[in-house]
């Protein structure tokens, strides 16, 4: 029976109490339950379509009569602009022009096109054209005339001018000064992290078409339902008259939330062009200047006190973040406030205001940057105390969330540390560092731990239907943004229904199904949607057993479904499932399910430990990451192969953050100078280390009926500090700014 219930829902550390509609949930899978499909390594179900080119990404959508949509972007960090709109409209093949004069063309509360653009890359106009040639001619005819105004893109200048986005955010627990007085050792250190750009393989893009009073939009988005809401509000439509599709997606990492600017512009241009389909597709430069970024932390300053035995007595952290006008204050101080036990903590986050494009969530926003600083500072503290860095972390393990005071539903961080140490050969790290290597390079091991949320929650819904052929289709409104969740959903349904995996199909990525699922972000897709899929499959299984009881004239309680067959508990009956479903004719059986409420009075978090091995040429500053051991605690692992891929991808992005990725802005012009994949350095196959992945794989007894937690963010969090700590272990050189380039290493070595 469906009911309304109040529950606490979390998204990237932001908690909200809300009413949600939930249905009666099935009992949780027992910890000792033998699993036949879930928990086994299976190839990604969408793999053949992806590698053969049959998968349709938004960039592949080609509708009849589709127009070329193009956006003109300001080249200046702050300016006013005048445009010759009528001249552009007069160009043959130009069917629609949008400009700052169209004040009703908005995204949220803000006009998309502004006569005073406030960052280099800001949209100032858009055209819908018959051909690419007409688009180029139309852009030229706009003849923009800019008057450059004052701007600040340098964080140091913004700090000197006290240019703040909003007031600093401060918190304090306990008595920090008293805690410092108790300390035998106090370590003070300052760190910084560069801005990182998402650069997903598939750029931001959207295709939109009006069919009467209905809007059909294809958007590369992590949230089709949020996109539907945005479109409906912008055009004052009944949401059911907006249809959003994202079948396949070439990466987002947090940058593709909701309708996106490109999707909104496509919809407005289509309306202005009499409903014809319009395609808007970012080029690589636009991705580098206008698609969002991970904000720079100008400084992270730590003061940490501890007793000789490693017990933390006080922590003081101040994080100065370089934010755009539209952005939020990332939780960079949260690791210091939560990861290890400490009763006395003072934290301050200072958001500077600089004239750059709006930031976007980027895989573990704030937590990754803050972990780089905090876990590096912990390593420095271990050195000052002459303690093993892992022993320091073990000594300060804590089983309650120190911000709320609530207990964790489950925590296995110590198990992660112990297993990672075993796999990495941690006890031999001194010998690794001290011996001479044939290539003349110095080697070392460094460790770091992580905390993230990832408990998911309602609302999330699914339906599972079966026809006469006994094949199941799972339907949910989630998006598979490249993580392989469709395969995991299929494994959950197959496991619950007792079917082989090849009898299960999954349909995701469209609001047309009317089955809501949350945005694919914040590590919440699996812990939110998979339990709903399981609940729907459980509902369908009950109906199947009832029908089988009618057909075979036995009690449904005496039947089970095993490998696609009805089997009686006494073994006397075994009949294929189609013996029942074949009698359905054109009818279908449908099971429905939803995600239940989150546990009251508890916090759901993920944990992990990574250990990196590096090789450093101290003469040239060349740094190679040779091996990363990653052990994570995410509850029950449903799809081990896909989970491993998530960890490998996170480690590679963390490696890029640690050693090479950095958005560079010319402070004299305010323009990004490396907005391409030649000058913005990303890890390639040549940079990929050996990555050893393991999971603790203990179901969380309170985290939904499946006992699982999210994995999207956790693997990226500890990689960079583990690498930084390994560099210090190998060479004795502490580099406190990421990325740790050759230049920064050599400067730090020189003192």
Distance in angstroms (rounded) separating the CA atoms of residues 532 and 233: 28
How many residues make up the chain in this entry?
A: 751
| 29-38, 385-394, 498-507, range with the lowest pLDDT | 29-38
Mean local confidence (pLDDT), 668-679: 95
- Render 570-613 in DSSP notation, one character per residue: TSS-EEETHHHHGGGTT--EEEEEE--PPPTT-B--EEEEEEEE
The answer on 419 and 375 residing in a single domain is yes
The answer on 424 and 315 residing in a single domain is yes
Band of residue 716 on the pLDDT scale cut at 50, 70, 90: very high
DSSP designation for 198: -
- For residue 571, cis peptide bond before it (omega within 30 degrees of 0): no
Instruction: Give the number of domains in the chain.
Output: 2
565-568 and 574-576: which strand pairing? antiparallel
The answer on 715 and 584 residing in a single domain is no
Each residue's pLDDT tens digit, 287-314: 999 999 999 999 999 999 999 999 999 9
Q: CA 105, 111, 114, 117 torsion: positive or negative?
A: negative
Angle CA(592)–CA(245)–CA(122) in degrees, nearest 5?
Answer: 135
DSSP designation for 265: H
Q: Residue 621 in contact with residue 331, Cβ under 8 Å?
A: no
pLDDT higher than 90, residue 32 = no
Q: Show which of 559, 594, 629 is a domain's final residue.
A: 594
Residues 6+ apart with CB under 8 A from 21: 2, 3, 4, 458, 459, 594
The label of the residue with tokens 């949509």 reads 69
Q: Which two tokens stand for residue 283?
A: 């080029």
pLDDT higher than 90, residue 33 = no
Phi and psi, residue 607, nearest 5°: -140, 160
Each residue's pLDDT tens digit, 552-597: 999 999 999 999 999 999 999 999 999 999 999 999 999 999 999 9
205-211 and 185-193: which strand pairing? unpaired
Please state at what angle helix 719-731 crosses helix 640-659, rounded to 10 degrees.
Answer: 60
Q: Which two tokens stand for residue 34?
A: 């033998």
pLDDT higher than 80, residue 396 = yes
Each residue's pLDDT tens digit, 52-84: 999 999 999 999 999 999 999 999 999 999 999
Distance in angstroms (rounded) separating the CA atoms of residues 488 and 706: 12
Smallest CA-to-CA distance from 744 within 651, 655, 627, 623 is with: 623
Q: Quote the mean pLDDT of the chain.
A: 96
Each residue's pLDDT tens digit, 488-545: 999 999 999 999 999 999 999 999 999 999 999 999 999 999 999 999 999 999 999 9
pLDDT (0 to 100) of residue 289 = 97
Which of helix, strand or coil describes residue 542? helix
The answer on 470 and 434 residing in a single domain is no
Helix (H) or strand (E) holding 189: strand 185-193
Each residue's pLDDT tens digit, 737-751: 999 999 999 999 998
Residue 268 lies in a domain: no
The answer on 409 and 315 residing in a single domain is yes
Phi and psi, residue 227, nearest 5°: -60, -45
The answer on 688 and 558 residing in a single domain is no
Q: Residue 226 in contact with residue 313, Cβ under 8 Å?
A: no
399 to 382, 405, 413, 611: CA distances (angstroms): 22, 10, 10, 23
Residue 20 lies in a domain: yes
Q: Show which of 534, 563, 594 is a domain's final residue.
A: 594
The answer on 712 and 617 residing in a single domain is yes
pLDDT higher than 80, residue 1 = no
Residue 50 lies in a domain: no
Distance in angstroms (rounded) separating the CA atoms of residues 643 and 647: 6
Residue 654 lies in a domain: yes
Q: Residue 323 in contact with residue 352, Cβ under 8 Å?
A: yes
Strand partners, 574: 567
pLDDT (0 to 100) of residue 199 = 96
Per-residue buried b or exposed e for 29-60, using 16+ beta carbons within 10 Å of the residue's own CB: beeeeeeebbbeebebbbeeeeeeeebebbbe
Mean local confidence (pLDDT), 702-706: 95
With 0-12 CB in 10 A as exposed, 13-18 as middle and 19+ as buried, what is 553? exposed
Q: Which two tokens stand for residue 523?
A: 């590590």
The label of the residue with tokens 């190839």 reads 43
Residue 110 lies in a domain: no
Distance in angstroms (rounded) separating the CA atoms of residues 159 and 353: 9
The answer on 608 and 557 residing in a single domain is no
Helix (H) or strand (E) holding 750: helix 742-750
Distance in angstroms (rounded) separating the CA atoms of residues 415 and 79: 55
Residue 233 lies in a domain: no
Each residue's pLDDT tens digit, 420-429: 999 999 999 9
Strand partners, 189: 302
DSSP designation for 427: G
Q: Residue 680 in contact with residue 196, Cβ under 8 Å?
A: no
Predicted TM-score of the model (pTM): 0.97
Residue 333 belongs to domain spanning: 296-455+601-750
Residue 288 lies in a domain: no
pLDDT higher than 80, residue 327 = no
pLDDT (0 to 100) of residue 460 = 96
Helix (H) or strand (E) holding 529: helix 525-552
pLDDT (0 to 100) of residue 326 = 75
**Secondary structure of 381-404 in the HEC alphabet?**
HHHHHCCCHHHHHHHCCCCECCCC
94-98 and 312-323: which strand pairing? unpaired
pLDDT (0 to 100) of residue 552 = 96
DSSP designation for 708: B
Q: Residue 735 in contact with residue 723, Cβ under 8 Å?
A: no
Domain containing residue 488: CATH number: 3.30.365.10
Residues 6+ apart with CB under 8 A from 625: 612, 613, 614, 655, 658, 659, 687, 689, 723, 726
Residue 150 lies in a domain: no
Residues 6+ apart with CB under 8 A from 4: 19, 20, 21, 22
The answer on 446 and 539 residing in a single domain is no
Smallest CA-to-CA distance from 683 within 727, 723, 633 is with: 723
The answer on 433 and 415 residing in a single domain is yes
The answer on 496 and 429 residing in a single domain is no
pLDDT (0 to 100) of residue 430 = 98
pLDDT (0 to 100) of residue 191 = 98
Q: Show which of 594, 613, 632 is a domain's final residue.
A: 594
Smallest CA-to-CA distance from 355 within 157, 109, 107, 81 is with: 157
Residues 6+ apart with CB under 8 A from 719: 448, 610, 612, 628, 630, 650, 651, 653, 654, 655, 657, 658
Band of residue 268 on the pLDDT scale cut at 50, 70, 90: very high
Q: Which two tokens stand for residue 456?
A: 């998911």
Smallest CA-to-CA distance from 197 within 107, 272, 76, 290 is with: 290
The answer on 440 and 315 residing in a single domain is yes
The label of the residue with tokens 């699922």 reads 517
Q: Please report, rounded to a whole number, the percentage of residues in the chain having pLDDT higher than 90.
A: 94
Q: Residue 413 in contact with residue 397, Cβ under 8 Å?
A: yes
Each residue's pLDDT tens digit, 183-216: 999 999 999 999 999 999 999 999 999 999 999 9
| Count of helices and strands (H, E) across the chain | 19, 32
């Amino acid at each position: 029976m469906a009911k309304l219930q109040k529950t606490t829902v979390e998204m990237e550390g932001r908690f909200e109490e809300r009413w949600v509609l939930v249905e009666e949930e099935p009992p949780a899978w027992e910890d000792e339950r033998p699993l036949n499909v879930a928990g086994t390594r299976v190839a990604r179900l969408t793999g053949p379509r992806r590698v053969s080119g049959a998968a349709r990404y938004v960039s592949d959508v080609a509708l009849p009569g589709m127009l070329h949509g193009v956006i003109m972007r300001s080249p200046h960090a702050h300016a006013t602009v005048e445009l010759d709109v009528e001249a552009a409209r007069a160009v043959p093949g130009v069917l629609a022009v949008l400009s700052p004069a169209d004040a009703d063309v908005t995204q949220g509360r803000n006009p998309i096109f502004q006569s005073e653009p406030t960052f280099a890359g800001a949209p100032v106009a858009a055209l819908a054209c018959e051909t690419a040639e007409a688009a180029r001619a139309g852009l030229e005819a706009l003849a923009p005339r800019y008057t450059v105004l004052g701007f600040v893109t340098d964080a140091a200048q913004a700090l000197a001018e006290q240019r703040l986005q909003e007031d600093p955010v401060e918190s304090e627990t306990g008595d920090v000064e008293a805690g410092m007085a108790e300390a035998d050792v106090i370590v003070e250190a300052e760190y910084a992290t560069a801005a990182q750009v998402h650069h997903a393989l598939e750029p931001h893009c959207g295709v939109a078409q009006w069919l009467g009073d209905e809007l059909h939009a294809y958007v590369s988005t992590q949230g089709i339902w949020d996109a539907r809401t945005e479109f409906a509000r912008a055009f004052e439509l009944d949401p059911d008259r907006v249809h959003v599709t994202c079948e396949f997606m070439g990466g987002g990492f947090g940058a593709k939330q909701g309708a996106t600017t490109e999707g909104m512009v496509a919809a407005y241009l289509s309306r202005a062009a009499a409903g014809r389909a319009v395609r808007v597709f970012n080029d690589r430069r636009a991705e580098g200047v206008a698609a969002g970024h991970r904000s720079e932390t100008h400084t992270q300053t730590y003061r940490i006190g501890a007793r000789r035995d490693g017990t933390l007595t006080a922590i003081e952290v101040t994080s100065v973040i370089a934010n755009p006008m539209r952005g939020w204050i990332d939780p960079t101080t949260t690791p210091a406030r939560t990861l290890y036990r400490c009763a006395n903590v003072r934290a301050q986050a200072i958001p500077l205001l600089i004239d750059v494009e709006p930031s976007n969530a980027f895989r573990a926003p704030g937590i990754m940057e803050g972990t780089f600083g905090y876990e590096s500072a912990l390593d420095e503290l271990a050195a000052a105390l002459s303690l093993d860095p892992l022993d320091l972390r073990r000594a300060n393990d804590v089983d309650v969330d120190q911000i709320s005071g609530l207990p964790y539903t489950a925590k296995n961080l110590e198990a992660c540390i112990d297993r990672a140490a075993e796999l990495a050969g941690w006890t031999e790290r001194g010998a690794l560092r001290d011996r001479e290597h044939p290539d003349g390079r110095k080697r070392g091991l460094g460790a770091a731990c992580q905390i993230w949320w990832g408990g998911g929650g309602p609302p999330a819904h699914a339906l599972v239907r079966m026809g006469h052929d006994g094949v199941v289709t799972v339907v949910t409104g989630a998006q598979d943004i490249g993580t392989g969740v469709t395969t995991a959903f299929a494994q959950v349904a197959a496991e619950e229904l007792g079917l082989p995996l090849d009898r299960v199909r999954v349909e995701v990525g469209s609001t047309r199904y009317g089955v809501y699922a949350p945005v694919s972000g914040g590590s919440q897709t699996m812990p939110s949607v998979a339990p709903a899929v399981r609940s729907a499959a459980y509902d369908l299984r009950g109906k199947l057993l009832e029908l089988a009881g009618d057909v075979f004239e036995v009690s449904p309680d005496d039947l089970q479904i095993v490998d696609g067959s009805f089997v009686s508990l006494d073994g006397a009956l075994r009949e294929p499932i189609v013996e029942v479903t074949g009698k359905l004719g054109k009818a279908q059986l449908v099971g429905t399910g939803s995600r239940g409420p989150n546990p009251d009075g508890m916090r759901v978090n993920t944990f992990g430990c990574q250990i990196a091995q590096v090789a450093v040429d101290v003469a040239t500053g060349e740094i190679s990451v040779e091996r990363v051991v990653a052990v994570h605690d995410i509850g029950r692992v449903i799809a081990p192969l896909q989970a491993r891929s998530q960890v490998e991808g996170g480690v590679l992005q963390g490696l890029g953050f640690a050693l090479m990725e950095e958005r560079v802005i010319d402070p004299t012009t305010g323009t990004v100078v490396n907005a391409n994949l030649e000058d913005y350095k990303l890890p390639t196959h040549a940079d990929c280390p050996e990555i050893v992945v393991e999971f603790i794989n203990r179901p969380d007894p309170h985290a939904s009926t499946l006992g699982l937690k999210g994995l999207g963010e956790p693997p990226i969090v500890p990689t960079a500090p583990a690498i930084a700590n390994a560099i210090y272990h190998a060479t004795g050189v502490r580099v406190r700014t990421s990325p740790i380039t050759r230049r920064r290493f050599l400067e730090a070595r020189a003192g």
